[in-house]
A and B are shown apart, each in its own frame.
Chain A
Amino acid sequence: MKFSIALAIAALATSLPALADRLDDIQKAGVLRVAAFDSNPPFGFLDGKTRQISGLDVDVAQAIAKKIGVKLELVPTNPANRIPLLVAGKADLVAANFTVTDERRKQVDFSLPYFASGQQFIARKGILKTPEQLAGLRVGVDKGTTQEIHLREKYPQTTLVAYDDTPLAFTALRNGNVQAISQDGSKLVALLAQAPDKQKYELAPFTLTREYQAIGVPKGETRLVSLVNDTLKELEKSGSAKTIYERWFGPDTKQPLPRDFKIGDQS
């Protein structure tokens, strides 16, 4: 039954006229629509004062729109709909803390990575010092993240509980539902700093992976990919990439982190 429905839909879809080049469409419309997170500080979140989505991803998206010479329109997204938005043509690009994996490369094209992070843990004090101790622990993760995938594949002894977002996962940790939570190190620093009972928890002293975040582009849009890559390289060359990074991770921010990755370090 599943296949007959899928095939029926497929037949309908292939009968549609082929799409023109996406970059031409963007230029014609005068608007670049970028899917960005609205609930993932500091990459994409709702600014308390301006009530607009802002963050590191948004700054990068802004630079791309400027390069094309069109207006930027942000489409709020979450992990459950960022690919459908792209595929259904409701967004042209995804700039949503999008981690590159080989499996995912089969479905979308990625630009050069513009951010790198590692998978880290916040745990109750004293229980998580080495990755081996993960076995037997209950660990909270966010749904739709590569942290969940990595732990499931490499640490089958760990019990994973996936929550809808980081605040819920952290509440589960503070309630004792899980003994540790896992996220990008870049997010955990700020999270722990804000907690009223932070003396009970600590950042585990190891990093599991090195992950790269890039812009997601519909498959086969080669002109769009190279334009995005050119923009990113120029950002690095002009020093704007560093300025953007410092705005969100500089010494005066909630999550001070030294910059250890430059655009172009990884392809």
Chain B
Amino acid sequence: MAGCAMNTQLIADNIDYLLIGNWANGQPGGLALTLFLAVAAGSIASLLGLAGGIALTMGQPGLRRTLEAVIAVLRAIPVMMLIFWCYFLLPILLGIDVPGIATVIAALALISAAYLSQSVYAGIAAIGHGQWAAGQALGLGRWQTLRWVILPQALRVMLPSFINQWITLIKDTSLAYVVGVAELTFVATQVNNREQIYPLEIFGMIGLAYFIVCSTLAWLGSRLARRWQPV
């Protein structure tokens, strides 16, 4: 019973810090920062991924091979290492100081874009040759066919991969701790080390928070997919 009271106290003392960090002093953090990182990186990644997928479809062989190599390398580096290198090597190589939040967004956007490019490419490839032929028969050019005939159909096919990638992205923001960005897992670790003896309670709690965010997104995605059912 004492343990139970202790846990309620534990939550009451820390819930605001876990949710918004030290916002009152101008340093947003916690779940709020996690969501911000995810939305920012997710938007950039979606645009880059779309561009990458189109380039893989329409580009010259040279461009395609270069892109494929870049994608393969990005996919082969553990995300935490990628964040680490972006944070510490960019200032040394470029001679400019990049803030932690920006490097985390850049690293997560890059790696997600690599995955999304392949989904977009596969999505476009899944649309039959007949559709390209139909577009051309209507007098549309290659790019016009892509824009008005292929992409609208392909995007529907791709929606599930986009949703999955966004969910992965939300979970991956937790690796930002390696460069000291105060997102949810980072502030939870701070609280954990101050309280010292409740690691399971604290990590269980943040696990639940990620679960709520991610499964809401998954649910929205499946509703959208149903409404968007290919005809």
A/B contact in complex, CB under 8 angstroms = yes
Q: Which of B87, B91, B180, B191 contacts A46 (CB 8 A)?
A: B191
Q: Does A160 lie at the interface of the complex (its beta carbon under 8 Å from any beta carbon of B)?
A: no
Bound-state Cα–Cα, A41 to B200, Å? 19
**B106 to chain A: closest CB distance in Å?**
16
Across-interface contacts of A39 in B (CB, < 8 A): 189-190, 192-194
**A221 to chain B: closest CB distance in Å?**
17
Q: Does A171 lie at the interface of the complex (its beta carbon under 8 Å from any beta carbon of B)?
A: yes
Within 8 A of A (CB), among B125-155: none
**A93 to chain B: closest CB distance in Å?**
16
Q: Which of A16, A41, A76 has the most CB of B within 10 A?
A: A76
Across-interface contacts of B22 in A (CB, < 8 A): 51-52
A-B contact count (CB 8 A): 85
Assess whether B91 is in contact with A90, with CB atoms less than 8 Å apart: yes
Assess whether A76 is in contact with B180, with CB atoms less than 8 Å apart: yes
Interface range, B side: 20 to 34
Within 8 A of A (CB), among B71-118: 84, 87-89, 91-93, 95, 97
A49's nearest neighbour on chain B, judged by CB, is B13
Assess whether A196 is in contact with B3, with CB atoms less than 8 Å apart: yes
Bound-state Cα–Cα, A245 to B13, Å? 27
Assess whether B92 is in contact with A194, with CB atoms less than 8 Å apart: no
Q: Does B17 lie at the interface of the complex (its beta carbon under 8 Å from any beta carbon of A)?
A: yes
Q: Which of B88, B93, B196 has the most CB of A within 10 A?
A: B196
Assess whether A168 is in contact with B199, with CB atoms less than 8 Å apart: yes
Across-interface contacts of B17 in A (CB, < 8 A): 51
- Complex interface bits, A220-250 against B, C-beta within 8 A gives 1, otherwise 0: 0000000000000000000000000000000
Q: Does B231 lie at the interface of the complex (its beta carbon under 8 Å from any beta carbon of A)?
A: no
A-B contact pairs, 6 of them (CB 8 A): A76-B180, A76-B182, A81-B88, A167-B193, A170-B196, A196-B197
Residues of A within 8 A of B (CB): 9, 12-13, 16, 38-41, 45-46, 48, 51-52, 75-78, 80-81, 84, 87-90, 165-168, 170-171, 190-191, 194-196
